[in-house]
Amino acid sequence: MRFHERSLNIKWKKGVKRPEKSNAIDMLCSGQVPPRSQFEVEDYERNFEEVPQPFTPEERESWLSKLEGVVVSSDAFVSCALEVLMINTDLPHSSHSSTTSTAPRDQASSTLQPRPAARTMVQSSILATS
């Protein structure tokens, strides 16, 4: 829905920052419009010169049925997959990474040990995108 003409042609108020734009577009595209409370409505609408109309279920279905070759991704998966990739390929990685790893630790050396299933997951993901 982010590439629907309604999303691409939003008329923003002057001074609206990128995070606010991103949040407003997320709300519009994910079906969270109209917001539930009056406070949320005012917070959402203050970003626009002209408030975009919410997408109807029919518009969503029509738009999504036309898409081809689309991959759904999450940045949460990407950071997790990168951490697993670094653990399993001897790439340098910080032991103080903000990503929490669930790989088992070797009790003697306190280093992360690779998980075969995790390696397979990353290899499969890399092959799928090649």
Q: Distance between CA 122 and CA 84 in Å, rounded?
A: 7
Task: Provide φ and ψ at 48, rounded to 5°.
Answer: -115, 145
Please determine, for residue 67, whether its predicted confidence score (pLDDT) is greater than 90: no
Going from N- to C-terminal start, the domains of the chain cover 5-66, 75-129
Burial call 68-99: b when 16+ CB within 10 Å, e when fewer: eeeeeeeeeeeebeebbbbbbeeeebeeeeee
> Can you spell out the DSSP letters for 16-32?
--HHHHHHHHHHHHTT-
| Model confidence pLDDT, tens digit, residues 19-66 | 999 999 999 998 888 888 999 999 999 999 999 999 999 999 999 888
Q: Of all helices (H) and strands (E), which one includes residue 12?
A: strand 11-12
Which band of pLDDT confidence, cut at 50, 70 and 90, is reported for residue 88?
low
Please determine, for residue 97, whether its predicted confidence score (pLDDT) is greater than 70: no
